[in-house]
Homo-oligomer: A and B are copies of this chain.
Amino acid sequence: MTAGASASSVGVVSPQTMHFEEPLALTSGAQLAQYDVRYETYGTLNAEHSNAVLVAHALNASHHVAGTYAEQPRSTGWWDNMVGPGKPIDTRHFFVIGVNNVGSCFGSTGPMSMNPATGKPYGAAFPVVTVEDWVNVQSRLADSLGIHRFAAVVGGSLGGMQALSWAIRYPQRIAHCVAIATTPKLSAQNIAFNDVARSAIQSDPDFHGGDYYAHSVVPRRGLRVARMIGHITYLSGDDMTERFGRSLRTRDYAFGYGAEFEVESYLRYQGEKFSEYFDANTYLLITRALDYFDPAREHDGDLVRALAPALARFLLISFTTDWRFAPERGREIVAALIANGREVSYSEIDAPHGHDAFLLDDPRYHHLMAAYFERIAAELA
């Protein structure tokens, strides 16, 4: 806990669901006739409705950002170290919303949901959605909650892309954009890692072209491998050396092909755990949303022009050992914002934990976030 001795949890929370009947036109040209959005809120919306903070999630997270569920003590939200009373995003000042994106597998409409056109799960029929589609859905949720303008939209990694997209698409509706460990677009290597993960899932015989629900199976083998690949890219090489090195679980080499190095055992365990709760179609969908994100694309690759509509003030944070979305990628965004005359704070934090650093409570990172959000809170007073 880094943000003061008084920091504590938001406590027991409950998710809510908002149903939308108005069709959603997607970037792809397809549409969702109707859909649910699962979300959680922490703190209290003020009378002016000016203190709302939207938290956008990354690949495998959800609307469950902070607190725990009743009688599930291990159900702590994925960013509980960041959001709560006395924490950097302080729920004594802010009304914080966590939202599960459409296409995900944690309660919002996605591939596992019933397709009203067929009466069966969507499966492979669920349309490909983009970061821009998610931001549109989030804006409808904001409308329904009576929030015209967010004090801040904040996210790390894929969540940071959503924050950037908010600043571009709804410039009047976002005072601050906080984008952490993110990039203006994936590199060829980033796409390559995503595609290997997708290939592992797609080639699992239990995938059945995406319609595995009908076969009462899950492509767990593919999901395991996909997660193992992803996990390697979330950690820095030095961090892996520090944590695991070449340590063995056995006294000596076992001369076999099982998990005998600690790092193998750790990765296989991560893959196993992930395959127990995550949906394979959602994995395809979310990695594709990552691949497609590229706001400069419709401006001939010019990120300055892509960011020209933005009016928000920005906080960008990168981590030195993040080789997935390296600081160079964050600086591209900063440079484009400065070229547009926007107000930008930028910090490169020398943290050892690679891309995953955005989820951890490094004191410098948390102090920076706390200071920035204190300033936002002061503007509201």
Interface residues of A (CB under 8 A from B): 27-30, 127-128, 185-189, 191-193, 195-196, 198-200, 202-205, 221, 224-225, 228-229, 232, 235, 237, 240-241, 243-246, 253, 255-257, 259, 261, 263-264, 267-268, 271, 284, 288, 291-292, 294
Q: A229-B229, A263-B192, A294-B246 in contact; A128/B256 too (CB < 8 A)? A: yes
Q: Residues of B contacting A232 with CB < 8 Å?
A: 189, 192-193, 196
Question: Does the CB pair B261–A198 fall under 8 Å?
Answer: no
Q: Residues of B contacting A224 with CB < 8 Å?
A: 199, 203
Kindly state the separation between the CA atoms of A191 and B195 in the bound complex, as whole angstroms. 21
CB distance from A252 to the nearest CB of B (A): 10
Q: List 21 A-B contacts (CB under 8 A).
A: A27-B255, A29-B255, A128-B257, A186-B246, A187-B240, A188-B241, A188-B263, A189-B232, A189-B235, A191-B261, A192-B228, A192-B263, A195-B261, A195-B268, A196-B267, A199-B228, A203-B221, A205-B205, A246-B294, A253-B292, A257-B284
Kindly state the separation between the CA atoms of A219 and B359 in the bound complex, as whole angstroms. 37
Having A28-B253, A192-B263, one finds 7 other A-B pairs with CB under 8 Å, namely: A30-B255, A189-B240, A192-B228, A195-B261, A195-B268, A196-B228, A203-B225
Copies of this chain per assembly: 2
Identity of the chain B residue whose Cβ is nearest the Cβ of A189 in the assembled complex: B237
Kindly state the separation between the CA atoms of A128 and B199 in the bound complex, as whole angstroms. 29
Q: Residues of B contacting A267 with CB < 8 Å?
A: 192, 195-196
Question: Does the CB pair A257–B198 fall under 8 Å?
Answer: yes
Q: Residues of B contacting A288 with CB < 8 Å?
A: 257
Question: Does the CB pair B192–A257 fall under 8 Å?
Answer: no
Kindly state the separation between the CA atoms of A153 and B153 in the bound complex, as whole angstroms. 60
Question: Does the CB pair A229–B196 fall under 8 Å?
Answer: yes
Kindly state the separation between the CA atoms of A191 and B260 in the bound complex, as whole angstroms. 11
A225 contact from B27, B127, B225, B241, Cβ within 8 A:
B225
Q: Residues of B contacting A255 with CB < 8 Å?
A: 27-30, 127-128
Q: Residues of B contacting A243 with CB < 8 Å?
A: 188
Question: Does the CB pair B191–A259 fall under 8 Å?
Answer: no
CB distance from A67 to the nearest CB of B (A): 33
Q: A241-B188, A263-B192 in contact; A225/B199 too (CB < 8 A)? A: yes
Q: A200-B225, A267-B196 in contact; A188/B127 too (CB < 8 A)? A: no
Of A259, A268, A288, the most chain B CB neighbours within 10 A belong to A288
